[in-house]
Structure 1
Amino acid sequence: MNELVINELAKELGIKVSQVKTVLELFEEGATIPFIARYRKEATGALDENQIKSINDLYSYYNNLLERKEAVIRLIDEKGLLTDELKNQILACTKLTEVEDLYRPYKDKKKTKASEAIKLGLEPLAKMIMAFPKKGSFEELSKNYLNESVKTTEDAIANASYIIAEWISDNAYYRKEIRNFIYKNGSVVSKIKKDAQDEKKTYEMYYDFNESVKYIKHYRVLAINRGEKEKILTVNIDFNEEEVYAYLNKKIIKDSTSFVVKVVEDAIKDSCKRLIFPSIEREIRSELTEKADKLAIETFGVNLEHLLLTRPIKGMVVLGFDPGYVNGCKLAVVDKNGCYLDSCVIKPFLKNASEAALVGSKIIVKNLIEKYNVDIISIGNGTASRESESFCAELIKEYNLNCKYVITSEAGASIYSASKLAIEEFPDLEVEKRSAVSIARRIQDPLSELVKIDPKSIGVGEYQYDVNQKELNENLDFTVSKVVNEVGVNVNTASKSILKYVSGLTKTTIDKIYNYKEKNKIIDRDEIKNIKGISDKVYEQCIGFLRVMDGTNAFDKTGIHPESYPIAANLLNLLDLDIKDINTDEFKTKLQEIDIKNYVQKLNTDEYTLSDIVKELLTPGLDPRDELEAPILKSDILHIEDLNVGMELEGTVRNVASFGAFVDIGLHDDGLVHISKMSKQFVKNPNDILNVGDIIKCYVDKVDLVKGKVNLSLFKD
């Protein structure tokens, strides 16, 4: 481990050097982020998953930076051009761009105007010009350099100017100052391209757009990038070029009375226009995009985390209702455990469909509901969703059915239904009916169902196909893993889709566990340890997150790690409690009354471990999602015409973006709570106020009947 990197990392994250070292040592031993966060709190000082991930990511970044510094120092040294001052400058760099700026003058270049001029032997002439002679003339300066290739004084001076321009461009100090100037004073400007086709006016606000580089919002950067990529917009960074020329003139021109001043001034302009400005504009736009990607990915991760933690509706029979027009609505019934029972297709929304066809469709659904005692209808929120909602609301009212409905995001359901996994689960079902099963199961156990789908297809991101895909995938995988391990997994009922996110498990070990549990019901955690192919390290990393709900050891359905079973057992002995009484009031009362610090000494353990043991014993097998608000169940429908400004509504947050949040209030389209309408105080990040899945009270702020749009507010004006 590199001490310099560790010290820098601790400083940046605001944590102790010892914490960084401990985490890195645990990684070297093969520990995973969920395991370290949950079961090594005493070693790390209770760092959470995000902090542990940051240590890993930044350590990798700083190591790569250090490797690049060492490589650049070696390459310059090999050319015999390394000085102590330059070496120290390189080692002091904190960004890769700074290292590359210092290396630029020493880098082997491709063919350039300057390199060709040097081949012509004009570098000494360039140096003579940069000495700013007072006496003489260009003819005298250049006469020794004229030949078959350089025939005139003008040719000699022009080529020497190319060398001077490249020297200026290669100066790391100048580039840094110019970059800072443009960043602080420049503006991102976009214009609509001539003859561009933007039929839906998607990019209308960017047809003549100008915003400071320093303050531009990240979602605007991503929108502009997309508009440029789609050949709708032209984009550039605008700034006062004359100020840059004046700055360089002052720095470079040593004697304003020299006859070469005009030539050097022209070389400065050429250096800027041809070399420096295009390069720095690319760098700044790249930096803006990188920052925008990071923030968009973070927003997506936060939204995904809250969506996956949506409270399950347990113990209910569900009818999945996948809406559609021409191809009909696909229906599927699943029992309380999510097992498939029945399916069919109805076509109540065909163009010119008769009243008799509509009634016939209602009777089919009514019979399904009564046959299987359906408790909830889960209606997908896609095409024909609101017509389907109206259909179900009328059905419930007309037949006085003891049933509710809920609108469910169907994002990704069609992708899942055609996947290899869905075919394996339901080989005899058509693709459309598999989609209806997914929509039904999503309200019974959102986590187990959504992990089957590529997170990018779940529909809670912004510009997810425009950002860095590698970083997005890594972040989303981390988020899903974090949630899965936080909730825990019933090993006997878990699918391969959810097991792949459990700490320490790989495809090979998942197959081993899956093959074993298909033949044998697992009754205690020790069985997993004895499965062939499950090493001690794999067992250590995964076992705390795998639950055995109806096993022989009550500890196995908790998040207590087997390594801490002796501590838990000794605690119960000291309190004269029996694990069989784990759910009784007396058991819980005694645990709640203990002095943790006192028992830490008695049990020779630490506060973190003992606190977690007590928490797990008080709520064995508790699903953390059960403490969240339940989804809104409905039996009647809302129309946009029913709304008035100021009306109070209840809704579910479906997505959170940088500019606001989209809330399902029961209309065809979600209403928008703009960031300015979230609080009377300044709001920096909408996720500080709202999260995906939140059930909120809001007020109608504006209704546009023509566009079918509703603006909402979290406070009354």
Structure 2
Amino acid sequence: APRRFGVADRGRPGDKWLADTVRWAWRTRILVHLGIDLRLRLRQAAEDEAVRVFAANLRDLLLAAPAGTRATMGLDPGFRTGVKVAVVDATGKVAATETIYPHVPQNKWDASLATLARLAKEHGVELVAIGNGTASRETDRLAADLIGRHPELGLTKVMVSEAGASVYSASAFASQELPGLDVSLRGAVSIARRLQDPLAELVKIDPKSIGVGQYQHDLSEVKLSRSLDAVVEDCVNGVGVDVNTASAPLLSRVSGISSGLADNIVAHRDANGPFRSRKALKDVARLGPKAYEQCAGFLRIRGGDDPLDGSSVHPEAYPVVRAMAKRTGSEVAALIGNTGVLRSLRPEEFVDDSFGLPTVTDILRELEKPGRDPRPAFRTASFKDGVEKIGDLAPGMILEGVVTNVAAFGAFVDVGVHQDGLVHVSAMSRTFVKDPRDVVKPGDIVRVKVLEVDIPRKRISLTLRLDDEASASPRREPRENRRGGTPRPRREASAPAAGGAMADALRRAGLVRPEGRR
């Protein structure tokens, strides 16, 4: 720095003082502030990226494929405390609850099967949702035995993430929604409902409790909450809400509806029966013209007085649809879903001062498929028989699994062994992958190959490239198995890197040496 500004010792009386002053200013003032500023910028960039990843994963989870209106049995697995069973009907209403003890120490396998078969037959159950926590694989085997012994029931079993189910069970809303139900049984109800409609059930849980992000606890609480709340609202508005079945937490996520107004809608519905039209919403206390204008297009009324109330067409645009029906000489009900007639209409002929060409085009598209759900079709993953714990894995195995989380460094996949495996970003494709979400997203069903299994540290390395070679030294057994001695205590490595978001960003920038280097 002194040389850059021409500060040098040329024998003048003040040269040494000036050079010392410049060095002191650089060392104690400028360099310190530069370091703080650089670290602040790196932390900000890392935090923004972590929030973006969390928000994107939450969006994928909320928009996961719904199983639909089918009677479902939820199983919340457990050993000593038993497996909690809850049967919900097609609308999500609790029909029956039980607790069974098929596993150790009670081992009442046959009695448990009889109970499940009786419940399934009595309530016309089609789906069995199994929580993926402790004893999930053993409970999955119980469900498989049930299906094998009773093929006439036509059951399908699905492993479901139970992240946040315990948070919901102990929440004030769960107490209000399921007042006569034990806390432990509420989790089974939540597991069943989130298979029927993930969006409708997960909105009852604080998004931060779902756990689909990275460096979550290092992030700004305000920034993360604001981002996640915006994602939930976008997802709810994008899918639409059936106002006659939606819960208050779901309604409160609709644009223009506050939590108090959502409670008023539910109370009005309980007191007066289902809404027959969108206009009837104006009778709800505190739902004024402005709130109605904001929320009406996102609320659906199926089988009501006006067929347009079941679509995403806003009531303000109903005159445009009626003009279309008049032009074709048919009723509005006959126009909806009539692709041939709708495509014969020219959008520009219905443009006026209130509705431009893009809006009219969107109306025509909606009328072709009214109330269409943007979420994908429902399908299930099949876990391999005999692979129930991490010790059952071997390099070279090809398995089917479900993507549970996607981070900047790769994706975690549940292959049915109680421990998610990691597909590193470098093992996702033959081409360069900038963002793992370009390849997979949470909820995707994928086929993976086991590269390496580290049993002591409970780490599973997977690849999406099925022709990759597995590790030559595949399984790292515990040290007592290899040498006959007691393993030396070792510090468990954190994932993906110690120190949180800022340390990871500094490490990538080369400002912090990796652990173990001197």
Cα distance per residue 1:359-411 (max 9 Å; x no partner): 33333333323332322211111122222222322333245453221111111
1:538 aligns with 2:252: no
For 2:289, the aligned partner's letter is D
Match of 2:184 among 398, 415, 432: 432
Q: Give distance in 1, aligned partners of 2:330 and 2:394.
A: 60
1:551 aligns with 2:316: no
Structure 2 unmatched runs, 5+: 469-518
- In structure 2, the residue corresponding to 1:679 is in which secondary structure? coil
Q: Give distance in 1, aligned partners of 2:200 and 2:354.
A: 38
CA offset at residue 593 of structure 1? Answer: 3.4
Match of 2:12 among 245, 258, 261: 258
CA 1:550/1:635 → structure 2, altered by over 3 Å: closer, same or farther? farther
Q: Give distance in 2, aligned partners of 1:284 and 1:506.
A: 41
Q: Give runs of aligned pairs for residues 367-406 of structure 1, distance below 5 A.
A: 367-400=118-151, 402-406=154-158
Q: Give distance in 2, aligned partners of 1:636 and 1:373.
A: 27
1:423 aligns with 2:172: no
Q: 1:339 maps to which residue?
A: 93
Q: Give distance in 2, aligned partners of 1:285 and 1:391.
A: 53
Q: Give distance in 2, aligned partners of 1:536 and 1:695.
A: 45
CA contact (8 A) 1:404 1:634 kept: no
CA contact (8 A) 1:311 1:628 kept: yes
Q: 2:514 maps to which residue?
A: none
Q: 1:283 maps to which residue?
A: 37
Q: Give distance in 2, aligned partners of 1:423 and 1:700.
A: 43
CA offset at residue 694 of structure 1? Answer: 1.7
1:677 aligns with 2:430: no
- Shifted more, 493-502 versus 389-398: the winner is 389-398
Cα distance per residue 1:71-103 (max 9 Å; x no partner): xxxxxxxxxxxxxxxxxxxxxxxxxxxxxxxxx
1:443 aligns with 2:192: no
Q: 1:631 maps to which residue?
A: 380
Equivalent pairs, count: 464
1:481 aligns with 2:236: no
For 1:486, the aligned partner's letter is G
Q: Give distance in 1, aligned partners of 2:362 and 2:416.
A: 41
Q: 2:505 maps to which residue?
A: none
CA offset at residue 281 of structure 1? Answer: 2.1
Q: 2:508 maps to which residue?
A: none
- In structure 2, the residue corresponding to 1:655 is in which secondary structure? strand
CA contact (8 A) 2:62 2:198 kept: yes
CA 1:493/1:272 → structure 2, altered by over 3 Å: closer, same or farther? same
Structure index of larger Rg = 1
- In structure 1, the residue corresponding to 2:232 is in which secondary structure? helix
Q: Give distance in 1, aligned partners of 2:381 and 2:449.
A: 17
Q: Give distance in 2, aligned partners of 1:330 and 1:637.
A: 24
Q: Give distance in 2, aligned partners of 1:465 and 1:638.
A: 33
Q: Give runs of aligned pairs for residues 261-272 of structure 1, distance below 5 A.
A: 261-272=15-26
Q: 1:365 maps to which residue?
A: 116
Percentage identity across aligned positions? 39
Q: Give runs of aligned pairs for residues 341-356 of structure 1, distance below 5 A.
A: 341-350=95-104, 353=105, 355=107
Q: Give distance in 2, aligned partners of 1:255 and 1:416.
A: 72
Q: Give distance in 2, aligned partners of 1:579 and 1:646.
A: 59
For 2:291, the aligned partner's letter is V
For 1:571, the aligned partner's letter is M
CA contact (8 A) 1:390 1:637 kept: no
Q: Give distance in 2, aligned partners of 1:511 and 1:629.
A: 31
Q: Give distance in 2, aligned partners of 1:629 and 1:374.
A: 17
- In structure 2, the residue corresponding to 1:251 is in which secondary structure? coil
CA contact (8 A) 2:134 2:418 kept: no
Q: 1:566 maps to which residue?
A: 319
CA offset at residue 647 of structure 1? Answer: 4.9
For 2:331, the aligned partner's letter is D
Q: Give distance in 2, aligned partners of 1:581 and 1:635.
A: 49
Match of 2:50 among 275, 281, 296: 296
CA offset at residue 423 of structure 1? Answer: 0.2
Could you tell me the TM-score, scaled by structure 2's length?
0.83
CA offset at residue 490 of structure 1? Answer: 0.9
Q: Give distance in 2, aligned partners of 1:261 and 1:455.
A: 62
For 2:181, the aligned partner's letter is L
- In structure 2, the residue corresponding to 1:505 is in which secondary structure? coil
Cα distance per residue 1:11-66 (max 9 Å; x no partner): xxxxxxxxxxxxxxxxxxxxxxxxxxxxxxxxxxxxxxxxxxxxxxxxxxxxxxxx
CA 1:249/1:537 → structure 2, altered by over 3 Å: closer, same or farther? same
Match of 2:254 among 499, 502, 526: 502
Q: 1:319 maps to which residue?
A: 73
Q: Give runs of aligned pairs for residues 521-670 of structure 1, distance below 5 A.
A: 521-582=274-335, 587-597=338-348, 599-600=349-350, 605-625=355-375, 627-632=376-381, 638-639=387-388, 645=395, 647-670=397-420
Query: C-alpha root-mean-square deviation of aligned residues, in Å?
Result: 2.5
CA 1:636/1:619 → structure 2, altered by over 3 Å: closer, same or farther? farther
Task: Name the structure with the higher helix share.
Answer: 1
- In structure 2, the residue corresponding to 1:663 is in which secondary structure? strand
For 1:607, the aligned partner's letter is L
CA offset at residue 705 of structure 1? Answer: 5.7
- In structure 1, the residue corresponding to 2:179 is in which secondary structure? coil
Q: Give distance in 2, aligned partners of 1:375 and 1:629.
A: 14
1:411 aligns with 2:186: no
CA contact (8 A) 1:396 1:635 kept: no
For 1:394, the aligned partner's letter is D
Q: Which structure ranks higher in relative contact order (CA pairs < 8 Å, sequence separation ≥ 6)?
A: 2
Could you tell me the TM-score, scaled by structure 1's length?
0.61
CA contact (8 A) 1:629 1:695 kept: no
Q: 1:690 maps to which residue?
A: 440
- In structure 2, the residue corresponding to 1:321 is in which secondary structure? strand
CA offset at residue 303 of structure 1? Answer: 0.5
CA 1:514/1:362 → structure 2, altered by over 3 Å: closer, same or farther? closer
- Shifted more, 296-305 versus 376-385: the winner is 376-385
Q: Give distance in 1, aligned partners of 2:336 and 2:321.
A: 15
Q: Give distance in 2, aligned partners of 1:364 and 1:508.
A: 41
Q: Give distance in 1, aligned partners of 2:213 and 2:353.
A: 47
Q: Give distance in 2, aligned partners of 1:645 and 1:518.
A: 57
Cα distance per residue 1:258-316 (max 9 Å; x no partner): 22333333333333333333333222222111111100110111111011011111232
CA contact (8 A) 1:405 1:634 kept: no
Q: Give distance in 1, aligned partners of 2:27 and 2:44.
A: 25
Cα distance per residue 1:335-366 (max 9 Å; x no partner): 1111101112223333xx365x3333333333
CA contact (8 A) 1:329 1:346 kept: yes
CA offset at residue 519 of structure 1? Answer: 1.6
